[in-house]
């Protein structure tokens, strides 16, 4: 007979409850958004202020909670637990999302109109992505229904904002480092969004949303993502070796390897939502933490 330690079980259950709260409320993703802007600042040699981190945190929190509202049909099939949570706290999450974006725009406005416009990119893309606005004469009514376009829009929004926003808080402006980190973010966010679609094949197919995995199948999708990761990753690394610091170059290489591993480990990772969320959505948190530790260690020498 196998005896299970009740204390261990209690700790595991509590961890799951806390992590579910963080992921279902989008707080976990918001921390990842803040980590992205920190990585961007380090790459572009710009000091990451609390205001920058707060803007990305609030923008991410707002957009994903508003998006969950428009994706209720798919979530009721793909993510029943998350759907139950968001329905239970529907008003709280909705009004919190509106307040969060208001304050993010308020913080950005203090650094000029360009910073305000950059902060608005995820909201604009989110509206175009989720809402019905394409004329009835066309086959598709929302961008999210067009195969591949939804992933492209998501990647553009979450690459441009953390890349360009720091340049408005500094006198240096855009540089080659901006291109490097922008391309890197675009590649990883695109891959992450398609990985989420792989997990949501059943609900997307039922709702008539022809995502890349629905059209290509899981195996061909994984090959496509691996090819994209290698192509963009190697291009970014070649530039960073010549023009960026060794720490940043190692970080970019680590992120590329990390993405490659979870692409080909999806069969195991995707079976458990909490594990998939931790590994895929937590990528930038891990990379940001590694960069912070490496920077502090180097400063000590």
pLDDT at 243: 87
User: Has residue 121 been placed in a domain?
Assistant: yes
- Bigger pLDDT: 3 vs 296: 296
130-150: burial string, b at 16+ Cβ within 10 Å, e else: beeeeeeeeeeebbbbbeeeb
User: Has residue 178 been placed in a domain?
Assistant: yes
pLDDT at 78: 66
User: Has residue 250 been placed in a domain?
Assistant: yes
The span from the CA of 247 to the CA of 265, in Å, is 27
Q: What is the pLDDT of residues 115-150, one digit of tens each?
A: 999 999 998 988 887 777 777 777 777 777 777 788
Torsion-angle region of residue 147: left (phi > 0), alpha (psi -120 to 50) or beta? beta
User: 21, 13 in Cβ contact below 8 A?
Assistant: no
User: Has residue 82 been placed in a domain?
Assistant: yes
pLDDT reading at 98 higher than 80: yes
**HSE (CB half, 13 Å, CA atoms) of 8?**
3
User: 53, 162 in Cβ contact below 8 A?
Assistant: no
Q: Which domain holds residue 170?
A: 9-299
pLDDT at 259: 92
User: Has residue 31 been placed in a domain?
Assistant: yes
Mean of pLDDT values over 204-218: 79
Mean of pLDDT values over 243-265: 90
User: Has residue 2 been placed in a domain?
Assistant: no
User: Has residue 1 been placed in a domain?
Assistant: no
The span from the CA of 39 to the CA of 123, in Å, is 22
The span from the CA of 235 to the CA of 245, in Å, is 16
The confidence band for 101, taking pLDDT boundaries of 50, 70 and 90, is: very high
The confidence band for 7, taking pLDDT boundaries of 50, 70 and 90, is: low
Q: What is the pLDDT of residues 57-89, one digit of tens each?
A: 999 999 999 888 776 666 666 677 777 888 888
The span from the CA of 194 to the CA of 212, in Å, is 7
pLDDT reading at 223 higher than 50: yes
Mean of pLDDT values over 276-291: 87
Number of domains in the chain: 1
pLDDT at 1: 46
User: Has residue 46 been placed in a domain?
Assistant: yes
pLDDT reading at 194 higher than 70: yes
Mean of pLDDT values over 219-232: 93
| pTM greater than 0.85 | yes
């Amino acid at each position: 007979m196998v005896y299970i330690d009740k204390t261990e079980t209690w700790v595991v259950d509590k961890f799951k409850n806390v992590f579910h709260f963080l992921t279902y409320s989008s707080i976990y993703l918001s921390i990842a958004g803040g980590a992205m802007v920190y990585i961007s600042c380090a790459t572009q040699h710009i000091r990451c202020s609390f205001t920058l981190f707060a803007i990305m945190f609030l923008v991410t929190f707002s957009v994903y909670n508003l998006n969950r509202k428009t994706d209720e049909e798919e979530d009721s099939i793909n993510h029943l637990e998350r759907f139950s949570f968001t329905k239970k706290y529907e008003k709280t999450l909705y009004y919190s999302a509106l307040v969060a974006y208001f304050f993010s725009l308020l913080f950005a406005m203090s650094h000029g109109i360009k910073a305000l416009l950059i902060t608005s990119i995820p909201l604009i893309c989110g509206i175009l992505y989720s809402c019905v606005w394409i004329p009835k004469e066309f086959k598709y009514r929302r961008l999210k229904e067009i195969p591949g376009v939804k992933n492209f829009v998501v990647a553009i929004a979450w690459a441009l904002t953390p890349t360009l926003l720091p340049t408005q808080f500094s006198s240096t402006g855009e540089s080659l480092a901006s291109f490097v980190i922008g391309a890197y973010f675009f590649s990883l966010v695109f891959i992450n969004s398609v990985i989420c679609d792989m997990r949501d094949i059943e609900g997307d197919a039922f709702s008539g949303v022809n995502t890349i995995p629905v059209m290509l199948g899981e195996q061909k999708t994984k090959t496509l993502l691996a090819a994209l990761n290698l192509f963009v990753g190697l291009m970014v690394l070649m530039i960073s070796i010549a023009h960026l610091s060794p720490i940043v170059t190692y970080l970019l290489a680590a992120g590329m390897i990390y993405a490659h591993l979870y692409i080909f480990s999806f069969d195991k990772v995707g079976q458990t939502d909490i594990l998939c969320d931790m590994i895929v959505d937590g990528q930038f948190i891990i990379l940001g933490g590694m960069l912070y530790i490496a920077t502090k260690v180097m400063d000590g020498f």
